[in-house]
Chains A and B, each alone.
Chain A
Amino acid sequence: MAFVQEPLPYDPGALESHGMSAKTFEFHYGKHHAAYVTNLNNMTKDTELADKSLEEVIQISFKDSAKAGIFNNAAQVWNHTFFWNSMTPSGGGGAPTGAIAAKIDSDLGGYEKFKEAFKTAAATQFGSGWAWLVLENGTLKVTKTGNAENPLVYGQVPLLTLDVWEHAYYIDFQNRRPDFIQNYLEQLVNWDFANQNLAAA
């Protein structure tokens, strides 16, 4: 069974008034994410990986340097789907609520400290990559990964992510990655999604 591109959880123009344009989604979802799915299907066709789950393909290919191309595409398929869900058009951004809020207080020293850590991780990921809020051995942690790598391969549970490849922000913010990060924190973060991931962990 072929890998499929999950539908966007909102309209491509839904975040337009929150700093992420329909034009960005046209390319980011419509071209970049779609291309990873196409590449992954082409690269795994008629192999034993074609029948594995996406998460299994990520884990298997990560451990095999001969499968680096498969890993890059599989992880990018997963990362982007997780990223779309990490944002919401309704009431996104700002201070967290629910269980994640209490855990940010206890594990990270509060929302302000979380924001600083997240901004630093996202701004200092040199080149292409991702910033994450993860659960590691039951404790919250802010991390960053290069290119396609994600927390799954390090045994961490991803709770939220931000894509800091230049294609994620160049149409809306050009070189101003810090403004893109700020906008994500203030207007886009889907804390309900983070709470769901925390509850399921």
Chain B
Amino acid sequence: MTFSRRHFLTLLGATTGTAAFSLVGLPETSPIAATQPAAAARLWDRTAQASETFKLPPLPYAYDALEPHIDAETMQFHHDKHHAAYVKNLNAAIDQYPDLKLMTAEEMLRQIDTIPESIRTTVRNNGGGHVNHSMFWEIMSPTGGGSPSGALATAIRQAFGSFEAFQTTFNTAGAKQFGSGWAWLVMNPTGDLEVISTPNQDSPLMQGYYPIMGNDVWEHAYYLRYRNKRDEYLKAWWNVLNWEAIAQRYEAAVQV
């Protein structure tokens, strides 16, 4: 797994990967991998290691890169243990249904009602966990912070009045999500920006929303540094936001 492959998949809109690209004997960045007919991809897929259909993407920066806002120990547990467990559980679930290996995790979530019932909850929880966390690492940066620019900034002003009003709405959504979950900026099916929250690892994709940015408010995201003070974590998080990456997700949402 290389960063260039991640970038390649991002351009394809398949940020969390799919077995169609996990081809044996081909360089991971080969354009051939993206252009093979589905049948060939299916054949190759069956030769691939079943348990590696979905892979844990590497953190795009060091564990301590987001200090002091998010501490290294939290990043290590969050990425290496929590996210890794979602990937492992998702792979174990879809091992029972080889046809699903041709779908991206995002596609499975968008069509969650079509996933076989015996693994639907597992895919919802662990596919959601995988997609949500893959986004989460990407939209943070050690050189982050500040505020958005360009079309995203304009859209936020139009939807919420100001960037500050958006921040307040977003933080309130995160604070009020009782139990585990996420706060989101999404594009709804009619193309408008909204702030929503979802419980547990439920993805906005399941409701037809496109997740532009999301903050993890599971306690594991902040407990080592912030303890019970979720509101302080919510405020600090804005200091590590990678607005370039978020703007790219906004552009992708506009094009969907």
Residues of A within 8 A of B (CB): 27, 31-32, 35, 69, 72, 126-129, 146-148, 165-167, 170-171, 174-175
Q: Which residues of B contact A148 (CB under 8 A)?
A: 178-179
Please encode chain B, from 160 to 200, with 1 for each CB lying within 8 Å of some chain A CB and 0 for all others. Answer: 00000000000000000011110000000000000000011
Contact of A165 among B199, B201, B219 (CB under 8 A): B219
Establish whether residues A165 and B179, one from each chain, have CB atoms under 8 Å apart when the complex forms: yes
Asked if B178 and A170 sit within 8 Å, CB to CB, the answer is no
How many B residues touch A, CB cutoff 8 Å? Answer: 20
Given contacts A35-B228, A127-B181, A170-B220, 16 further A-B contacts (CB under 8 A): A31-B228, A72-B178, A126-B201, A127-B179, A127-B180, A129-B179, A148-B179, A166-B180, A167-B223, A170-B219, A170-B224, A171-B223, A174-B81, A175-B77, A175-B85, A175-B220
List chain A residues, Cβ under 8 A from B180.
127-128, 166
A127 touches B200 (CB 8 A): yes
- Asked if B227 is at the interface (CB within 8 A of a chain A CB), the reply is yes
Query: B179, A128: Cβ atoms under 8 Å?
Result: yes
Q: How far, in whole Å, are A51 and B227 apart by their CA atoms in the complex?
A: 33
B121-156: which residues lie under 8 A (CB-CB) from chain A?
A: 121, 125
Q: Quick one: which of B216-256 are within 8 Å of A by CB?
A: 218-220, 223-224, 227-228
Q: Please, which residues of chain A bring their CB within 8 A of the CB of B121?
A: 126
Residues in A neighbouring B46, C-beta threshold 8 A = none
Residues from chain B with Cβ under 8 Å of A35 in the complex: 228
- 8 A-B contacts, Cβ less than 8 Å apart? A27-B227, A146-B179, A148-B179, A167-B223, A170-B219, A170-B220, A174-B224, A175-B220
CB contact under 8 A between A167 and B228, given known A126-B200, A127-B218 = yes
- Top 3 closest pairs, chain A to chain B, by CB: A127-B180, A166-B219, A128-B179
**Is the CB–CB distance between B218 and A31 below 8 Å?**
no
Q: Is the CB of B81 within 8 A of A175?
A: yes
- Inter-chain contact A166/B220, CB cutoff 8 Å: yes
Q: How far is the CB of B180 from chain A (nearest CB, A)?
A: 4
Give CA–CA (A32, B178) in the complex, Å: 13
- Give complex CA distance A34, B129 in Å: 31
A31 contacts which chain B residues (CB < 8 A)? 227-228
From A32, A127, A175, contact of B199 by CB (8 A):
A127
| Docked complex Cα distance between A175 and B220 (Å) | 8
Complex alpha-carbon distance, A27 and B226, angstroms: 11
- Smallest Cβ distance from A43 to chain B, in angstroms? 13
Complex alpha-carbon distance, A166 and B216, angstroms? 13
Decide if B82 is an interface residue (CB 8 Å cutoff): yes
How distant is the Cα of A48 from the Cα of B116 in the complex, in angstroms?
47
Smallest CB separation, A29 vs chain B (Å): 11
Q: In the complex, what distance in Å separates the CA atom of A27 from the CA atom of B223?
A: 11
By a CB distance below 8 angstroms, the chain A residues around B200 are 126-127
CA distance A129 to B200 in the complex (A): 11
Residues of chain B contacted by A27 (CB below 8 angstroms): 227-228
| Residue ID in chain B nearest A175 by CB atoms | B81
Task: Give, as a whole number of angstroms, the nearest-CB distance from B222 to chain A.
Answer: 10
Pair B227/A166 contact, Cβ less than 8 Å: no
A113–B43 Cα gap in the complex (Å)? 44
Q: Is the CB of B81 within 8 A of A32?
A: no
Nearest residue, chain B, Cβ from A174: B77
CA of A165 to CA of B180, assembled, Å: 8
Assembled-state Cα–Cα distance A148/B178 (Å): 9
Contact present for A166 and B81 (CB under 8 Å): no
Question: What is the minimal beta-carbon distance from A62 to any residue of chain B, in angstroms?
Answer: 14
| B residues in contact with A166, CB < 8 Å | 180, 218-220, 223
Which chain A residues lie closer than 8 Å to B218 at the CB level?
Answer: 127, 166
Complex Cα distance A127/B82, Å? 12
Partner of A167, one of B125, B178, B201, B219: B219
